[in-house]
Structure formats: structure tokens, C-alpha cells
Chains A and B, each alone.
Chain A
């Protein structure tokens, strides 16, 4: 089976965010594999081990994304592809990323494409469904279970806490939700092996794409931090009195009761 994973690097969830001149400050920040993409990598490996085939991890990003691709290889993916847009694209959006991936997948004959259901930075959740639409294959988002039997694919889909049992067939694109699996940590032998696994680097020119097709459809005009929350009031006194005061504050001051 030809399995592909769409992977994005994101800020570590521990990172505080700083903004300078309307841009996110990324100097010295720690980056990780987007946590939802980790579920995708894990699931790809599990499915490959069960059905055979190969797992290729694909990133549209910059040179620094190599680190996260190596981590995915260390987890057990077979190959990695970095589509480096650093020199060619000033600004991209979900439309452009999906277009680039469409061009990449044109001749790939993918059976299964997995992605995170959302990236924890931009959090649009658009690229997976957009790509599936461009490739003309069905997609199922926010999956928490995946069984493949021949061409038949049975999926558990999380819908705001309820579970939909979905049946579809290969090829399909799925986006992964928490609860699908427990992503493994790369083992030491895995890390050693990853260094020798193939990591192909492509640029826009290597794909069959016109530059004017990559004009983004949205534009970011500002980035700012939310107003700092003032430290609130920690109540004092007997517990019973505190609770009474709290209810009174919620009713009369905050007006939320």
C-alpha cells in the first residue's frame, strides 16, 4: 500500500508566543511535529506494518522542517519529502499549500493519505480536505479509528464527541484526531536508521505548476497578542463565605449568573 502522511512543523506547545512588527517571533523557538500529525505518522506505520507497503512523509515548508521529517523517519516512516518553498513563495495560504501538494501527488498513485485534523499554529484544518477535493478522492476528517480490509475502509469519525461509523474505499484521505492511537517515541536504533533513510528535497520548479497558480487567496494584515489578563481576585475567609461571595460576584459584578 502506498501510504503518505502530510506533516507540518509547529511551535512546541510549551512555547510562549511573542510578536514583533506584526510577525510571530520564532528566533530560538522549539519546533515539533504538529501533535495531530504525529497521530497520522503513527497510524501510517501501523497500517503499513499490517498491510505492507511504504510510508512517505511529505512537508511543504522550509529547510528547518528537515528535523521533524527525520523524527518521523525515526518513528518508522520509510521516506521523506521536503517541498521547500522558502525561495519561491513570499506568502502562502491553505489554497497554495493544497495546490503544491496536488502537483506533488499527481503521479503518485497514493492509496491512503493521512494528515492531522488541524495544525496547532494556524488551525484552519483546510489543507487535507482541499487536497482530497483537488485529487478527486473522498476524505474523512477527525478520525479516531481506521480499519482497512482489501479496498474497504471502515472509519470511526469523531463528531464533537459522538462517533460516526463511516465506510468508504481506497484511495482516501483521512485527518487524524486525538484518541486514534498513542504515537511512539523514536527509538535509538530508529534514530540511527533515520539518518540513512531517503529525504528528497523538491522546489516549486520541480513540480508541474505555474507560479500564477500559487497566488494566495487570503492575506494576513496583522498579528497581535490578546490583552494580558489581569490577575484576578483570590477570595479569603471561611470556605462557606468565599463560596457565597463568589456567587454574589458572579451574579452582580460579572453578571454571568
Chain B
């Protein structure tokens, strides 16, 4: 049976949802394969390993080392390479997150392997595994295959459906000792700027603001709506350039490309660069004073009106049904 390695990722001690999606992705690559999860850290990894099993991993390898306390490509790279050498997986799958983007090219380079970044779909066509991925920030898509021996892919959050959590599933959890040395990039400190809560790239609901938000304070009702819906706040480039919010919130051709279930665009005109970053969202709501705004061309539902009137009303209405 071929082995499918899924690299797990934690944030604040919990596994990220995209790890569960990566497990489902591995099963799409080979439905008969054995899913081997791998986790790196310096503390307790047992509960996260169990979670991976509940979501479909057949067994999990936990690597603990003081040098794996925070992610570095060098530390995690050494640990994961040791597992790859042991297991000789047929496929490696990870989420296309900050860590996934940083780590996987290093491993692919070491393996002299092809790597498909940011896949949104996986199909098996005969003996070929075909990956779909957005290009030009979602203005187009390409289908790609890997011609080297190992199938290696990162999957975009929110696109491949995870299996249902099943606590009755069991799997072996083993630990592995690995030498982790010579870390040349040292993390001295982490400054948390993102408020607790939902990461933009994984959010199921995004409430985004544009120039129409007018000020930093103007984002407050948007944040309230996002909190109510368990979502995250995003922004257009216009809002970032005007310093209403941090660039880390920017959605668009430069900035993040997102595909939430629900995208609520408030005071966003809908420049082509912004549309590239969000038009593949499942449901789009546009709120804008200008009935001619381009955003209405991609919106499923539109309200022509002042966001400072509409958003508070929306909050009240949603509270009624919650």
C-alpha cells in the first residue's frame, strides 16, 4: 500500500482546518493509500495527533525537539525529511498556508521533485493525478500533473472538503527522534497583530471594506458583523493604501486570494485587481452607494446603499435569526 504523508500544521496549539482538508486531499490522490500524518513541535502533540486520526489519518508520527518550538523552514525541513527518508511516501500533502508556502519548496528542492502549489481540486484520470489550481489570481485556472516520482501538493484552504470527524477511528501514534541542528534563521520574537480569531485565508465568512469605509474606525461595524458570523475582516487595496487598515488584510491580485462561503463587500468599487482575489467566493454580497459600481457585476446579491446604514441593520437582522 502506498503511503501518503500529510504534514500537519498547528496554530496556537490546535490543528488548522486545512490539515483535515489535506488528509481528504491525500485520499483523493489515492483512495487505497495509507495516510501517515506528521507533526512537529516541542510540547505535547498527542491530542493533535488523535485529531488527525479522527479526521482520517491511519497513523501519525510526532516529532518533538526543542528546536521545533516555533516553525523554521530549516528545523521543520530536517524533521520532515527524516520522516520522508524513513517512509518513502508516494505523495506528500500540506495546506497552502504561510508555513506550507515556506516549507514545501525547500523539501521539493531536496527531493528534486515537482510541487503543485495551491491546488483547489484533485482528480484521478487513469494512472494520472490531475491538479487544478488558480493562475493570474483566479482570473484563470490550470490543470497540472507531476512528472517526477513523488506527488507533492499544497492545497488551498476551504476548497477540498474534509471528512467528518469520527472519534471512533483509531490509529497508531508514534514518536520519532530527529537531529535538528544548525538553524541559521532564528525567530527572536513574534508580534501578534492579528486579533484572536479567524484567519483570513481559512475564514468561511469574510466582511471586506474598501475606500467607502472612510477611516480606521469605519471598520468597526464590519468587524462586528464578521465576529457575529464567525468570520474575518478583509480589505481592498484602496482601504489599505488609505491606511484605514493593515496590508495584511488586503485581498486582491496583490494581497490574499480568498474563497470563503460568504463574501460581503462593503464600500468596495470592484477594481479588476480586487475581483481577482475574491470572485471565486461561493456567495458574494455587495453593499455600495454607487449603483454603477463594478462589484455588482460579480455579486449574487446587492444592496445599493450606505454601508454605515446597511451594516448595522444587517447585524440586527442576523442577530434575530441566530
* A residues with CB within 8 A of B: 11, 13-14, 16-17, 19, 24, 35-36, 93-95, 98, 118, 120-130, 132-134, 138-142, 158-169, 178-179, 215-226, 229, 231-235, 239-240, 242-244, 246-247, 249-251, 254, 256-257
Contact = CB atoms under 8 A, between A and B. Distances in A.
> Which 9 residue pairs of A and B lie closest in terms of their CB atoms, listed nearest first?
A217-B114, A161-B248, A161-B194, A129-B105, A218-B114, A133-B109, A217-B148, A126-B105, A234-B302
A215 B134 CA distance: 23
A236 B314 CA distance: 15
Given A14-B272, A234-B304, A243-B317, A19 B140 contact: yes
Interface residues of B, number: 91
B108 A130 contact: yes
A130 B309 CA distance: 50
B145 A218 contact: yes
Contacts of A220: 142-144
Given A13-B272, A93-B114, A123-B134, A138 B74 contact: yes
A235 B304 CA distance: 8
A229 B74 contact: no
Given A161-B249, A218-B144, 7 more contacts: A24-B135, A120-B136, A134-B109, A217-B146, A229-B279, A247-B317, A256-B205
Nearest to B322: A257
B112 A217 contact: yes
A224 B142 CA distance: 6
Contacts of A125: 101, 105, 117
Looking at chain A's contact residues, the main secondary structure is: mixed
B105 A120 contact: no
Contacts, number: 256
Contacts of B262: 250, 254, 256-257
Contacts of B1: none
Given A167-B188, A231-B297, A226 B140 contact: yes
A166 B279 CA distance: 35
Nearest to B70: A164
Contact of B305 (A132, A242, A251): A242
A46 to B, nearest CB: 18
A232 B297 CA distance: 7
